[in-house]
Structure 1
Amino acid sequence: MDFDLPESALAVREGVTAIARRYDQEYWSRCDADKRWPEEVWRELVDGGWHSLAIPEEHGGAGQGLLELAVALEALAAGGAGGAASFMYLLTPAFGGLTIARHGTPEQRAEFLPRIVTGEIETCFAITEPDAGSNAINIATHARRDGDGFLVSGQKIWISGVERADFLVLVARTVPAAEARPRTSGFTVLLVDVKDAVAQGTLTYQPIPKLGTNTVASSTVFLDEVRVPADRVLGEVGRGFAVLWDILNPERILAAASGVGFGELVLGIACDYARERAPFGTPIGANQAVAFPLARIKAQVELARLMTYKAAWLWDRGRPCGSEANVAKLTAADAAWQAADRAFQTHGGMAYSLEYPVARMFRDARIAKNIPVAEELVLAHIAQHELGLPRSY
């Protein structure tokens, strides 16, 4: 066994950390308050090729893997971005670059990947629906054949980044759920030209007011006979579930990497305050009531990091990693939340002041326990597949 990161991942950590450290917490607080995408950071990631790590070299990328993407995301979050980092590596690098590199035709890869590398196009992902959240089997958005393409109609919800996206990686049914045998058949993954559909009036979206992670909007998306050419299918028509799982496992692994980096960032902020704050003449960090919970969180973060790297390593080698991805996501999300909660407590009343970043991090950390998959479903998966207990849903 070798627990040393490869040189490629170490270089990624160093490069992305250098970018992150150029932007202080005032920058991230302003982006959040203004509900503004961190354009300056994104441009540095694009210009340095740090967003296209997993795109093959023949298309201009670095030809690396999910492990390097995970390390990049972790470094960006830990370096200061916190929760804002996750969307910067999920939307285009993973949902677009990784998915097209793995499942696109040669023509699709040649068309899209070089443009992702240069930052010419961005992507997002649409699976969740009002009546089909964690239960993707119940997706009702449908794509029906029409000449040499498809017409797509339906509604998606909590779609992050559609306001920036050029293309939407969309999961639709080409066979109704009631007719699909087995239940996982009849799905098709499509590349939807967002700007063209908006111009045609067949795609509209409405941002959802939300508690946190305000550097990217999350919207309800309405599709009304959106035309998608047949050459924009990712994978095979009706057999998109294989593509879907190849999206969802990396999503969970990258979410875990975000949680690890987030936990490190918030823990560092809490420890800095605990070293400096001395209301009774001694730093509060000298008190075991303050120090021990922080030390326990450090242990949780380190354990989550190990599982995150293991899951990414397995995925890069084409090996089953569903359980590892779920465990990584579960433990990292909890570590990030515990870190944020303890940072809030460590700061006392000052945590409520927006002069400190703790309040923003507290609300940003909480959502990771619910997305991209609720922890209850993760536990149900572990109970069934790892413990052999009866299926609960």
Structure 2
Amino acid sequence: MDFDLPESAAAVREGVQAIAREYDQAYWDRCDAEKRWPEEVWRDLVAGGWHSLAIPEEYGGAGQGLLELAVALESLAEGGAGGAASFMYLLTPAFGGLTIARHGTGAQRREFLPRIASGELETCFAITEPDAGSNAIEIATRARLDGDHYVVSGQKIWISGVERADFLVLVARTIPAAEAKPRTNGFTVLLVDVKEAVADGTLSYRPIPKLGTNTVASSMVFLDEVRVPAERVLGAPDEGFAVLWDILNPERILAAASGVGFGELVLRHACDYARDRAPFGRPIGTNQAVAFPLARIKAQLELARLMTHKAAWLWDAGRPCGSEANIAKLTAADAAWQAADRAFQTYGGMAYSLEYPIARMFRDARIAKNIPVAEELVLAHIAQHELGLPRSY
């Protein structure tokens, strides 16, 4: 059993860390305060091919896998981006590049992957609805076949990055839940041309004011008879559940990678402050009441990293990884939140000052316990599938 990162992933870590070092914490603070995408960092990632790691070489990518994407995201988050890093690797590299590389037809790969690899095309993902959050079975957005097009109507919520996206990876029902046998049938995953639909008035969106992660907007999306060519179905019509899990499991693994990197970033700030702050003539970090909680968080982060890398490795090998993806997400999100909470306590009253990044990190870390899947549902999955307990939902 070899726990060393493969050379490909080690090179990714080094390359992304080099980019992260070019941007100080003040840069990320400004992006958040101005509610703007970190365009400069994104351009650097694109220029180095660090966003297209999982795209096959024949389409301009690096021909690597989810493990390398996870290492890149972890490195960017730890290098200063924190929670902002997750969207930079989820929206286009994962939702677009990874999904199309695995489930796209030859024509779809040729159309989309080179443009993603060059930075010309960006994507986002739309599954959540006002009445169908974690319970995807209840999705009500409907796509009906009309000749050689699907016509899509419905509403999505908390869709991050739609304001930037060229295409929306959208999950719709082509068979109503009441008629589907089993109920996991009847889903279809569609590639929706956002700009075309906005131009013809069939798609609109409205950003939702939110507490944190302000480098990307999260929006309500309204679809009113959006026409999507039938050749832009990902996977088979009515059988999109298989595609969906190949979106959701990588999403959870990458969210875990973000949590690990974010936790390391926050922990570094807390330890720096604990070494420097000496109100009674000695650093506060000499006190076990300060040092021990930080040490425990480091242990939790190392464990979360191991499970994150294992889950990504399993996915790359084409093996089941649902439980590992869920466990990685659960442990990493909790470790990042514990790191942010303990950093807040370590900084004392100064944590409340916006002159320090801790307040931003504190609010950004909290949401990871709820998205992309609530920790209660993760625990329910573990209880059912790993412990053999009765289904609770």
What is the TM-score of this pair, normalised by structure 2? 1.00
**1:297 match:** 297
**1:46 match:** 46
Structure 2 SS opposite 1:144: strand
**2:224 match:** 224
| Partner Cα distance (1:243, 1:90) in 2 | 16
| Partner Cα distance (1:183, 1:279) in 2 | 62
| Partner Cα distance (2:330, 2:151) in 1 | 37
- Runs of 4+ displaced beyond 6 Å: none
**1:338 match:** 338
**2:373 match:** 373
**1:96 match:** 96
* Counterpart residue type for residue 259 of structure 2: G
Q: Deviation digits for residues 115-165 of structure 1, max 9, x if unmatched?
A: 000110100000000000000000000000111111000000000000000
| Partner Cα distance (2:287, 2:22) in 1 | 33
**2:120 match:** 120
Deviation of 1:174 (Å): 0.3
| Partner Cα distance (1:241, 1:288) in 2 | 50
| Partner Cα distance (1:179, 1:92) in 2 | 33
**1:308 match:** 308
* Counterpart residue type for residue 312 of structure 1: A
Q: Deviation digits for residues 248-295 of structure 1, max 9, x if unmatched?
A: 000000000000000000000000000000000000000000000000
* Bigger Cα displacement from structure 2, 369-378 vs 142-151: 142-151
**1:259 match:** 259
Q: Within 5 A, what are the aligned runs for 1:69-108?
A: 69-108=69-108
Deviation of 1:237 (Å): 0.3
Q: Deviation digits for residues 24-58 of structure 1, max 9, x if unmatched?
A: 11100100000000000000000000000000000
| Partner Cα distance (2:250, 2:203) in 1 | 27
Structure 2 SS opposite 1:354: coil
1:199 aligns with 2:194: no
Q: Within 5 A, what are the aligned runs for 1:9-20?
A: 9-20=9-20
| Partner Cα distance (1:175, 1:20) in 2 | 46
**2:165 match:** 165
| Partner Cα distance (2:200, 2:103) in 1 | 28
Structure 1 SS opposite 2:157: strand
Structure 2 SS opposite 1:347: helix
**2:327 match:** 327
| Partner Cα distance (1:121, 1:321) in 2 | 29
**1:239 match:** 239
| Partner Cα distance (2:316, 2:170) in 1 | 24
**2:283 match:** 283
Deviation of 1:21 (Å): 1.1
| Partner Cα distance (1:330, 1:126) in 2 | 22
Q: Deviation digits for residues 281-321 of structure 1, max 9, x if unmatched?
A: 00000000000000000000000000000000000000000
What is the TM-score of this pair, normalised by structure 1? 1.00
Q: Deviation digits for residues 98-117 of structure 1, max 9, x if unmatched?
A: 00000000000000000000
Q: Deviation digits for residues 331-361 of structure 1, max 9, x if unmatched?
A: 0000000000000000000000000000000
Deviation of 1:226 (Å): 0.2
| Partner Cα distance (1:33, 1:80) in 2 | 15
Structure 1 SS opposite 2:164: coil
1:68 aligns with 2:68: yes
Structure 2 SS opposite 1:362: helix
Structure 2 SS opposite 1:269: helix
Q: Deviation digits for residues 56-114 of structure 1, max 9, x if unmatched?
A: 00001000000000000000000000000000000000000000000000000000000
| Partner Cα distance (2:352, 2:384) in 1 | 41
| Partner Cα distance (1:355, 1:279) in 2 | 19
| Partner Cα distance (1:98, 1:133) in 2 | 23
**1:248 match:** 248
Structure 1 SS opposite 2:227: strand
* Counterpart residue type for residue 311 of structure 1: A
| Partner Cα distance (1:226, 1:358) in 2 | 43
**2:131 match:** 131
Structure 2 SS opposite 1:101: helix
* Counterpart residue type for residue 245 of structure 1: W
**2:385 match:** 385
**2:363 match:** 363
| Partner Cα distance (2:332, 2:148) in 1 | 45
Structure 2 SS opposite 1:55: coil
Structure 2 SS opposite 1:280: coil
